[in-house]
Structure 1
Amino acid sequence: MERLVDMQFTETVLKEILKRFKLTPDYQKLGDFENYVFEVYDQNHAPKILRVTHHSHRSKEELESELDWIQYLCNCGIKIPNVITSPVGNTVEAFEGNQSYFFASLFEKALGQPVKVDGPSFNEKLFYKWGKTIGRIHKYTKDYVRTPGIVQRAQWDENDLLDLDKYYTGEDALLLGKVNKVIENIKELPKERNSFGLIHTDIHHGNFFYDGEMIQVFDFDDASYQYFVSDIAIPLYYATNSKHFYGTREERNQFAKKFLHAFLDGYDEENHLTREWLTNLPLFLKLRDIDLYAVFNKKVVPEDRNERVLHWLKEIRERIENEVAIVDVSFT
């Protein structure tokens, strides 16, 4: 979280949020990268998830549109943590901080446990379930219609991170020609019902819990209108990068082949993307590099970058310069 926002999010604001949602004073902080996330407890001591968002990150209308889609997916029978409305029936409540505003929403807690890339469950069975879950979301999102009064979520290219002149500065500005080439190539792709719609956009293994049989996806904060193939590229990118963070390209390619085989078996059971669309995977792997490079420049000041972040940034920069994706993908 940016330091200025951190200074504005006081204990007084958090206490007021807990009080308005009729939660106990107890909480556990789970994260604070783009949103503040807490495990909190209702009056029966049942755990819930509280998310607090600064107004500089999302507007109230943007948050309400995300939560409208979550409620739709739950009504379709997709097993994801649903939204819990406030005592007065709102999905989003506003709170005034020190010269700024915060928005709070409450969710069910996902069932299952976090997945570890070095754990026994990080295998083909999980990859298959992962793909099946995303395919099911894509199948139902084709018929999503916003509730009256709900604004439309942003298009993928309206992402703040693609305000490239802001995040690619100094020596990084030399990358802009190659970065813009990737973005323009994606913009040229056709937007069709069976390949483009409202998607999660960030279903890596840190954004779901798994009980050995079922995946429950959460953190829909980055949901936008994007190509379905992006929701395949993101799991592939993060699974490969996490499993072989310091690995060779050959190690990554071998893992990617195994991952995609199982993942697409699951995906195809719920939704079908043509081979033509799947051949666009490298474009979206490159887009994730572009986005992440901007994220690090936005969120992590140079003096706070540890060895892992520096290694990641170095690899991303080299890939952008060489115009290659994190892995080689072939469907021939």
Structure 2
Amino acid sequence: MYGLAGYNIKPVKSHKRGRNVVYTCEKEGTGAKILRIAFLNDRSREDFLGELEYVRYLFEHGGSVSNVISSRKGNLLEEITHNHHTFFVCLFEKAKGKMLVDNHYRYREGVPISEYYYNCGKVLGTMHQLSKGYAPVHSRYSFFDKYNAEYIDKLIPGSLPLLKEKLLGLLKSLEGLDTDHESFGMIHFDYNDGNYSIDFDTGQITVYDFDNSCFGWYMFDLASIWGNGMGWIQSEPDAGKRKRFMEDYFETVLEGYRSETRMDPSMLNKLPLLIQVNLMEGIIDAFEVMRNNGEEPECDEELSYYIKCLEDDIPYFGFFHEIYSCEEPFEYEIRNI
């Protein structure tokens, strides 16, 4: 389907939240590629086409993303049916550079880390600016299509009534947010350093893994970047120093972001709310993974921590609150459910 004969094809190590099987495809003299095979029945053909068309649109209009490669038939998406099960297959250009974790969280030698913070905002700002002119053929779902009272009631165990109540209250708060052209559009919805690579020669960031992309508030992606910054200062015992670092870090991110797109100042005031929505997404995703894996629901220290933050209305991932421990970041006593 893709002319990959002769390529050295190796599986990429999966992670707990993974929903696909992924392979690197390398051949001397050609650019490396990423093959993705989706095996869960939680997404439709329309969902995949909506994702891939968006990626192609971003790439063709100057977005720094890994382009999707058409098959020999000219399709962005291919299907294989085996034993009455459908697998959805697609191929991407491999992003230049590598992830921060693979570089042991060291940035470019001799270059201030603030360049990285700025570029995180700049690359996201470009994508959001392009989204403001995006008219999909196959449309991805919108935020409330998935995150609604019915879905939460079905997914979250009845033994967590306070969590359900808080999640529903969060949804109620979101209903009052602007969904105008400048505030709401196609977003990545999982913008973090596990989903982009950095060219350590130039600092250029290339984004991939749009598997969760949907129509949502641009501020959600910015709240994700805010959360990413915590890792740089999470071992600092002084909450005041953590707070000052996060303020400086995020201001640099916003400088990069504003260099590419306009931001409604009123939406910046919604940052704490959208951080809570990031928290909600993480909690819901954890229960989805358990369900998809056929596991009984359980809360480890990390999930218990995030649930506690929502139940007790603790803002900013609890990062400036007494619940946070720099010795055991984002962990709380395991709860039975």
TMscore range, shorter length: 0.7 to 0.9
What is the alpha-carbon distance in structure 2 between the residues aligned to residue 53 and residue 243 of structure 1?
36
What is the alpha-carbon distance in structure 1 between the residues aligned to residue 264 and residue 134 of structure 2?
22
TM-superposed deviation, 1:31: 4.4
TM-superposed deviation, 1:303: 8.1
TM-superposed deviation, 1:105: 0.3
Q: 1:62 to 1:282 in 2, by over 3 A?
A: same
User: 3-state SS of the aligned residue for 1:119?
Assistant: coil
What is the alpha-carbon distance in structure 1 between the residues aligned to residue 231 and residue 303 of structure 2?
12
Query: What residue is the counterpart of 1:196 in the other structure?
Result: 184
TM-superposed deviation, 1:44: 5.5
The answer to whether 1:294 aligns with 2:284 is yes
Q: Is the Cα contact below 8 Å between 1:34 and 1:57 reproduced in 2?
A: no
TM-superposed deviation, 1:131: 0.1
TM-superposed deviation, 1:93: 0.6
Q: 1:190 to 1:30 in 2, by over 3 A?
A: same
TM-superposed deviation, 1:176: 1.1
Question: What is the identity, as a one-letter code, of the residue corresponding to 1:126?
Answer: Y
Q: Is the Cα contact below 8 Å between 2:279 and 2:317 reproduced in 1?
A: no
Pairing of 1:167-316 with structure 2 (within 5 A)? 167-212=155-200, 213-240=203-230, 244=234, 250=240, 252-300=242-290, 310-316=300-306
User: 3-state SS of the aligned residue for 1:202?
Assistant: coil
The answer to whether 1:143 aligns with 2:133 is yes
Query: What residue is the counterpart of 1:159 in the other structure?
Result: 146
User: 3-state SS of the aligned residue for 2:259?
Assistant: helix
Once the two structures are superposed, what CA deviation does each residue of 1:36-63 show, in whole Å capped at 9, x if it has no partner?
2211236966420011112513211111
User: 3-state SS of the aligned residue for 1:270?
Assistant: coil
Q: Is the Cα contact below 8 Å between 1:161 and 1:295 reproduced in 2?
A: no
Query: What residue is the counterpart of 2:118 in the other structure?
Result: 128
TM-superposed deviation, 1:170: 3.6
What is the alpha-carbon distance in structure 2 between the residues aligned to residue 242 and residue 102 of structure 1?
39
Q: Is the Cα contact below 8 Å between 2:188 and 2:214 reproduced in 1?
A: yes
Q: 1:35 to 1:160 in 2, by over 3 A?
A: farther
Query: What residue is the counterpart of 1:91 in the other structure?
Result: 76
The answer to whether 1:317 aligns with 2:317 is no
Pairing of 1:4-153 with structure 2 (within 5 A)? 20-24=1-5, 26-32=8-14, 33-41=18-26, 46-116=31-101, 118-121=105-108, 123-146=113-136, 150-153=137-140
Q: Is the Cα contact below 8 Å between 1:49 and 1:109 reproduced in 2?
A: yes
Once the two structures are superposed, what CA deviation does each residue of 1:122-174 show, in whole Å capped at 9, x if it has no partner?
9221110000011111111111122xxx3211001222697212331042233
Query: In angstroms, what is the RMSD of aligned CA positions?
Result: 2.7
Q: Is the Cα contact below 8 Å between 1:256 and 1:327 reproduced in 2?
A: no
Q: Is the Cα contact below 8 Å between 2:306 and 2:317 reproduced in 1?
A: no
The structure richer in helix per residue is 1
What is the alpha-carbon distance in structure 2 between the residues aligned to residue 130 and residue 83 of structure 1?
22
Consecutive unaligned residues of structure 2, counting only runs of 5 or more, are: 320-337
Q: Is the Cα contact below 8 Å between 1:42 and 1:48 reproduced in 2?
A: no
TM-superposed deviation, 1:235: 1.5
Aligned pair count? Answer: 304
Q: Is the Cα contact below 8 Å between 1:286 and 1:320 reproduced in 2?
A: yes
Question: What is the identity, as a one-letter code, of the residue corresponding to 1:322?
Answer: D
What is the alpha-carbon distance in structure 1 between the residues aligned to residue 147 and residue 19 of structure 2?
13
User: 3-state SS of the aligned residue for 1:315?
Assistant: helix
What is the alpha-carbon distance in structure 1 between the residues aligned to residue 275 and residue 63 of structure 2?
27
Question: What is the identity, as a one-letter code, of the residue corresponding to 2:251?
Answer: H
Output the TM-score relative to the length of structure 2: 0.82
What is the alpha-carbon distance in structure 1 between the residues aligned to residue 232 and residue 212 of structure 2?
20
Output the TM-score relative to the length of structure 1: 0.83
